[in-house]
Structure 1
Amino acid sequence: MSHTIKDVAKKANVSIATVSRVLNGQGGYSIKTKEKVLSAIKELGYQPNALARGLINKRTKTIAILFPEVSSMFSAKILRGVENVVHEQGASVIVCNTASNGIRTMKYLQLLHEKRIEGIIFVSEVLKEEYYEAVSSMNIPIVLAATETYRYQLPYVKVNDRHAAYTAVEYLINKGHQKIGMISGNKYDPIAGHPRIEGYKEALRRNYITVNEKYIVDAKGFGFKDGFENLPRLLEAAPDITAVFAASDEMAVGVISAAYRLGIRIPDDLSVIGYDNLPLGEMSIPPLTTVAQPLEEIGEMAANMLFTMIETGETMESRIMPHKIIERASVKTLY
């Protein structure tokens, strides 16, 4: 049987208002009264309803995070960082899986408005106009994580995708590779598609290597299947490549798996570098060399920024996080 605030008040022989003041630290009662109320709460095992408390103090201490794919390793690492901060703040987080679906996203935003959440972290997707208008009408802060928008003045936390892709490709060049293919995400994706393609091209140009469009294959997404299905396409168009830059670790592992099916040895016949530094990369055979973005730190930074905005009402400055190469065993030196 679950007990109510009325049961606590009866047990402690005080008013419901007094119990409420104790729960919310509002004062106006003696130490003895506080001890009686806390003793009654403990004895009854009373759990105050967060939303009911929020109606009293106008705070729910709840934020929301929206992912396009909540079950991915990418999302899990960002969520871990967010939850670290949420627990430090004594708050809670509602996790929403939008599946990159506009209707579902709008339904979630309506639900979050009804739940009186205090802020939103929006992850790894384009912030559409209808999303922005919905959040604006809620009059709560929003922080973008692993994404950004040029249209609206909103703070974001992410790596520089173009620069990180440049770093990955230049790493291959420094290992002696000249004929480098790329399997990208959707080339029209302004967040992780187009910028990573441009970083790939810039690294070639800066090292006096001609950009050949046949060496670039764009996929629909960034998953294992996208890498697995598109390696044969890339090899058909560019059979002379010695290395592949895959725009995500999941894609890179898909490339390695497809190479195994084709009898291509990694890295003896073909070198592969990924992007993200997900745990999956350490599990692949061979272990995947990758350009790492600090996903857990991105989650922590986004959450810290959001709570600061909630408390102060001030807009935070955007943050570009560092990236680095993680060397493992999927790239061969050609010197």
Structure 2
Amino acid sequence: MTVTIYDVAREAGVSMATVSRVVNNNPNVKPQTRKKVFEAIERLGYRPNAVARGLASKKTTTVGVVIPDISNMLFSEVARGIEDIANMYHYNIILCNADKRKEKEIKVINTLLEKQVDGLLFMGGSVTDEHVQAFRTSSVPIVLCATRDETNQYPYVDIDHQQAAFDAVNALVQDGHRDIAMISGNLQDTNNGYSRYMGYKEALEKNNMPFREEYVRIGNYRYDSGIESMKYFLELEQRPTAVFAANDEMAVGAIHAIQDSGLRVPEDISVISVDNSRIASMVRPQLTAIAQPMYDIGAVSMRLLTKLMKNEKIEDTRVVLPHELVKRHSTR
């Protein structure tokens, strides 16, 4: 049978109020009494009921985290940053995978809010009207992590995706390339896909280079779509001399498609991406990439959420972290 606070009080020969004070680290308990209660807890194997404590205090010390793809190394790095800061401030994490599907994201958001979490961190693609409607039902703080809503009405921590893409393409231009293709993400993904696409176009325009429709293929951020997109480019009459991929996984697919065709990277075609996940240094040649500070995005998001939950003073609820170009061997 479940051991209750009453059982502990009877075993220790104290009141239930005293046991409660000991469990909640109240300093107003004599050391000898505290020792007696802890010994009773150990003998009986008592575990405090977190649900009951939450009902009493109206706090569960739990944060809900919605993650788009738990198998993606990039998001696992964000989750590590979130968890480290959560542990530092004594919060527990409920991590939910949403499979990059809007319907599941909405369902998970509502489920976490029903579980009375003290705050919510949302990682996803586009923040749609349906997401906003779900957020509006929340009585707890919400922070967008590695994404943002179009109106910027919710706190967020992210990078400037358009500038990151611009810097990647501009690096190829500085290397002497004029025929630069792009393997894009979903353009309906306003934060990552569309912003990086616009950064690509902006870089071409700033360098007085024409935009060519046949030099853009829409992928799904997966390895296979990188292969298929690159095969298409290789069959063009004027194939590109460089390719910018919207993420590392598609870039690796592009590298392998180039190598399978008998061409070399970067001697024949250069490849660059945005993300700089661990896979960038695993592929050969190693991938040149714009690095997102994914651990920092997670850590800063969680710290911002703790401040909101504790009603602490906040200078800025819209945080844009810096990115950097990491040069390796896939570009000349």
TM-score calculated relative to the size of structure 2: 0.93
Q: In 1, distance between residues paired with 2:202 and 2:106?
A: 37
1:134-183 deviations in Å (ceiling 9; x for gaps): 23223111111111112351111111000000000111111111111111
Secondary structure in structure 2 of the residue aligned to 1:192 = helix
1:69-124 deviations in Å (ceiling 9; x for gaps): 11111110100110110110111111111113333223323321232101111113
Contact 1:66 1:98 in 2 (8 A): yes
1:253 equivalent in structure 2 = 252
Letter matched to residue 84 of structure 1:
D
Query: Is there any run of 5+ residues in structure 1 with no aligned partner, and where?
Result: none
Range 46-55 or range 268-277, more displaced:
46-55
Q: In 2, distance between residues paired with 1:172 and 1:102?
A: 35
Secondary structure in structure 2 of the residue aligned to 1:138 = coil
TM-score calculated relative to the size of structure 1: 0.93
Secondary structure in structure 2 of the residue aligned to 1:312 = coil
1:278 aligns with 2:277: yes
Contact 1:215 1:238 in 2 (8 A): no
1:52 equivalent in structure 2 = 52
Q: In 2, distance between residues paired with 1:238 and 1:97?
A: 43
Q: How many residues in Structure 1 have an aligned counterpart in Structure 2? A: 331
2:224 equivalent in structure 1 = 225
Letter matched to residue 64 of structure 2:
A
Q: In 2, distance between residues paired with 1:26 and 1:120?
A: 28
Query: Is there any run of 5+ residues in structure 2 with no aligned partner, and where?
Result: none
Q: In 1, distance between residues paired with 2:199 and 2:9?
A: 64
How big is the shift at 1:323? 0.6
1:74 aligns with 2:78: no
Q: In 2, distance between residues paired with 1:107 and 1:189?
A: 19
How big is the shift at 1:34? 2.2
Q: How do 1:160-309 and structure 2 match up within 5 A?
A: 160-219=160-219, 221-237=220-236, 239-309=238-308
- In structure 2, the CA distance between the partners of 1:187 and 1:108, relative to structure 1 (3 Å rule), is closer
How big is the shift at 1:191? 1.0
Letter matched to residue 187 of structure 1:
L
Secondary structure in structure 1 of the residue aligned to 2:191 = coil
Range 224-233 or range 47-56, more displaced:
47-56
Superposition RMSD on alpha carbons, in Å?
1.9
Q: In 2, distance between residues paired with 1:218 and 1:66?
A: 25
Contact 2:66 2:109 in 1 (8 A): no
Secondary structure in structure 1 of the residue aligned to 2:235 = helix
Contact 2:186 2:193 in 1 (8 A): yes
Q: In 2, distance between residues paired with 1:152 and 1:195?
A: 15
1:141 equivalent in structure 2 = 141
Letter matched to residue 195 of structure 1:
S
1:320 equivalent in structure 2 = 320
2:155 equivalent in structure 1 = 155
Q: In 2, distance between residues paired with 1:184 and 1:101?
A: 19
How big is the shift at 1:298? 0.3
How big is the shift at 1:268? 1.4
How big is the shift at 1:43? 3.6
Range 230-239 or range 184-193, more displaced:
230-239
Contact 1:124 1:191 in 2 (8 A): no
Contact 1:215 1:237 in 2 (8 A): no
1:49-87 deviations in Å (ceiling 9; x for gaps): 322221222211100111121111111010011011011
Q: In 2, distance between residues paired with 1:158 and 1:286?
A: 29
| % same residue | 38
Contact 2:74 2:294 in 1 (8 A): yes
Contact 1:214 1:238 in 2 (8 A): no
How big is the shift at 1:32? 2.8
Secondary structure in structure 1 of the residue aligned to 2:22 = helix
1:277-323 deviations in Å (ceiling 9; x for gaps): 10011100111110111000000000000010000076752111101
Range 163-172 or range 196-205, more displaced:
196-205
2:95 equivalent in structure 1 = 95
Range 264-273 or range 28-37, more displaced:
28-37
How big is the shift at 1:28? 5.2
Q: In 1, distance between residues paired with 2:41 and 2:79?
A: 32
